[in-house]
Amino acid sequence: MKTRILGFVALAAVVSAAIVGLFVVPPDLNQGDAQRIMYPHVASAWLAYLSFGVTAVGGVLWLWRRDLRFDAVALSGAEIGVMFTAFAIWGGMMWGRPVWGVFWQWEDPRLTTTALLLALYVGYLLLRRLTEDPERRATRAAIVGLVAAIDIPIVHFSVEWWRGLHQTATIASPERALDPAAPMVFVGTLMGTLAAFSLAWLYLMIRRYELARAELAREEEARRGRLRAVQAAAANLRSQEEAAR
Amino acid sequence: MTVAPPTEPVLSPPRRPWGILVLVGVVVLVVAWLAFSSVGNALVYYQEPHELLARGDAAVGETVRLGGQVEPGSVEREAAGEAYELRFVVTDGHASIPVVTANAPTASFREGTGAVVEGALGADGVFVATQVIVKHDENYEAPAPGTQPSDNSFIPADG
Amino acid sequence: MTDAGFVIAAYGVILGGLALYTVTLWRRLRAAASRDDEGR
- Residue range A22-37, pLDDT digits in tens: 999 998 888 889 999 9
Per the prediction, chain B carries an average pLDDT of 79
Distance in Å, alpha carbon of A125 to nearest chain C alpha carbon? 16
- Mutate one of A20, A30, A94 to test the C interface: name it (highest C CB count within 10 A): A94
Chain B hits for A147, CB-CB cut-off 8 Å, are 24, 27-28, 31
According to the model, what pLDDT value does residue B9 have? 47
pLDDT band, residue B1 (cuts 50/70/90): low
According to the model, what pLDDT value does residue B22 have? 77
3-state secondary structure A165-229: CCCCCCCCCCCCCCCCCCCHHHHHHHHHHHHHHHHHHHHHHHHHHHHHHHHHHHHHHHHHHHHHH
pLDDT band, residue B24 (cuts 50/70/90): low
Query: CA angle, A105 as apex, A103 and A111 as ends, to 5°?
Result: 95
Is C40 within 8 Å of chain A by CB? no
What percentage of chain A carries pLDDT values higher than 70?
Answer: 100
pLDDT, tens digit, for every residue of A178-206? 778 888 889 999 999 999 999 999 999 99
**Which chains, if any, share at least 3 CB pairs under 8 A with chain B?**
A
Residue B42 has pLDDT above 60, yes or no: no
pLDDT band, residue B152 (cuts 50/70/90): low
Q: Which of A46, A219, A203, A223 is nearest to A138 (CA)?
A: A219
Q: How far is CA A234 from the centre of its chain?
A: 46
Q: How many CB pairs under 8 A join A and B?
A: 153
Q: Which residue has the higher pLDDT, A184 or A10?
A: A10
Chain C hits for A198, CB-CB cut-off 8 Å, are none
Residue B158 has pLDDT above 70, yes or no: no
Distance in Å, alpha carbon of A13 to nearest chain B alpha carbon? 24
Q: Which residue has the higher pLDDT, A77 or B54?
A: A77
What percentage of chain B carries pLDDT values higher than 90?
Answer: 33
Q: Is the ipTM of this complex over 0.85?
A: yes
Contact at CB, A215 and C1, closer than 8 angstroms: no
Protein fold of B49-152: OB fold (Dihydrolipoamide Acetyltransferase, E2P) (2.40.50)
Cross-strand partners of B109: none
Contact at CB, A217 and C6, closer than 8 angstroms: no
Is C33 within 8 Å of chain A by CB? yes
Of A107, A143, A169, the CB nearest to B20: A143
Residue B105 has pLDDT above 70, yes or no: yes
Residue A47 has pLDDT above 60, yes or no: yes
Residue A62 has pLDDT above 50, yes or no: yes
According to the model, what pLDDT value does residue B157 have? 59
Q: Which residue has the higher pLDDT, B153 or A99?
A: A99
According to the model, what pLDDT value does residue A20 have? 96
Mean pLDDT over residues A232-244, rounded? Answer: 92
Contact at CB, C1 and A97, closer than 8 angstroms: yes
pLDDT, tens digit, for every residue of A153-178? 989 988 888 888 898 888 887 777 77
Is B123 within 8 Å of chain A by CB? no
